[in-house]
Amino acid sequence: MKTIKGPGIFLAQFAGDQQPFNRLESMARWAAGLGYAGIQIPSWDKRLFDLERAAESKDYCDEILGITAQAGLAITELSTHLQGQLVASHPAFEMLLEPFAPPELAGNANARQAWAVQQLLWAAKASRNLGLHAHATFSGALAWPFFYPWPQRPAGLIDEAFQELGRLWTPILNAFDEAGVDLCYELHPGEDLHDGVTFERFLTTIGDHPRAHILYDPSHMVLQQLDYLAFLDLYHERVRAFHVKDAEYHPNGRAGVYGGFQDWIDRPGRFRSLGDGQIDFRQVFSKMAQYDHPGWAVVEWECCIKHPQAGAAEGAAFVRDHIIRVTDRAFDDFAGGAANAGRNRKILGL
């Protein structure tokens, strides 16, 4: 059995132009000071990290590892959430996604998609150069505008979308396979891969690719009213990354899971800081221990009420208190359970 590593923290929601959030060195010291042992780095933020350089230079990666090690930290994973969103995107999102790519690509969907693919290919090499074993991303969304079957979808529409999704991602998955890194899709509303069924459908289109895995975030399952504990029973072998984020769902007579286009603070389902929501993290961490999760427990702070600094400070202690140090022996070993084939045959009357 494995004891999960942590606590880690995803830096994306905290990065900014002010100290200490504008440089990797100072962010690493900030995270370490809060009690974190690892950081997940957003690869699109050049204030913190140069993805192209990391793909091409082992020396640069050694510098990055030196910076984190000096703070007493490890790198949990790199993230390409924004770039992954652009690998496959429906034209309905054209203007909404422009900030995810360089400004000179605005209005050129083909160039933007090619840029996103290159980013993922660099991420595979950069992850290898950093000695990482997993990578966090999004799948993108070709079919998401049609997630509710009205107006009636023409036959074959969703099949075509998933075939294209598989075609676009297969070369990227092959690059991650060559690098020896698992590509972990965060299952998230707004992505074509948002639950177990859509992930299975994707696996079918890519021939159960050995590098296609899951970033497990139970908060997105609460907002979909999906059983987040049963999910681990079903898919634990594919779960290779973990965002620790809380959420709550309070149905009412005016709005449900779709939220009524309301702001986050007014929606029945909303993200909360750790410990302020409804997720049973005792059971989540128990299942992670039971199934030998090989990676990190990484805090992703998203809350419409609590200040991010408070959420980050509380998150380290929360995760540390929930990590289960797994046992190295059976609790009933004292009762004489050692194997003895001859004795066993005698007991059975053989």
Q: Mind listing the pLDDT tens digit for each residue in 41-79?
A: 999 999 999 999 999 999 999 999 999 999 999 999 999
The residue extents of the domains of the chain are 5-347
Q: Please, which pLDDT band fits residue 328 given cuts at 50, 70 and 90?
A: confident
Task: Report CA torsion sign: 300, 306, 311, 315.
Answer: negative
* Phi, psi for residue 262 in degrees, rounded to 5: -85, 160
How far is 299 from 242, CA to CA, in rounded Å? 9
Q: Going by C-beta distance under 8 Å and a sequence separation of 6 or more, which residues neighbour residue 316?
A: 7, 9, 34, 35, 36, 299
Q: How confident is the model at residue 339 (pLDDT cuts 50, 70, 90)?
A: confident
**Which percentage of the chain shows pLDDT scores above 70?**
99
The reported pLDDT for the residue numbered 128 is 98
pTM above 0.75, yes or no: yes
The number of C-alpha atoms within 13 Å of 211 and in the hemisphere containing its C-beta is: 22
In the prediction, which pLDDT does 329 show?
82
- The predicted pLDDT at position 293 comes to 97
Q: Does the structure show a pLDDT above 80 at 344?
A: yes
pLDDT tens digits, residue range 197-241? 999 999 999 999 999 999 999 999 999 999 999 999 999 999 999
- Which residue is it, tokens 């497990």? 216
Give the span between the Cα atoms of 255 and 348, in whole angstroms: 62
pLDDT grade, residue 332 (50/70/90)? confident
Long-range contacts of 95-102 (CB under 8 A, 24+ apart): 100/44
Tell me which CATH homologous superfamily contains domain 5-347. Answer: Divalent-metal-dependent TIM barrel enzymes (3.20.20.150)
Residue 40 banded pLDDT, cuts 50, 70, 90: very high
Looking at the predicted structure, is the pLDDT value of residue 100 above 90?
Answer: yes
Q: 177-180 long-range CB contacts below 8 Å, 24 or more apart?
A: 177/209, 177/210, 177/211, 178/124, 179/124, 179/125, 179/127, 179/128, 180/128, 180/133
Q: pLDDT tens across 287-307, in order?
A: 999 999 999 999 999 999 999
Which two tokens mark 89? 């995107």
Q: Is 137 helix (H, G, I), strand (E, B) or coil?
A: strand
Q: Would the pLDDT of 337 be above 90?
A: no
Start-to-end Cα distance in the chain: 34
| Alpha-carbon torsion (233, 237, 238, 240), positive or negative | positive
C-alpha dihedral sign at 18, 24, 25, 28 = positive
Average pLDDT score over residue span 245-273: 97
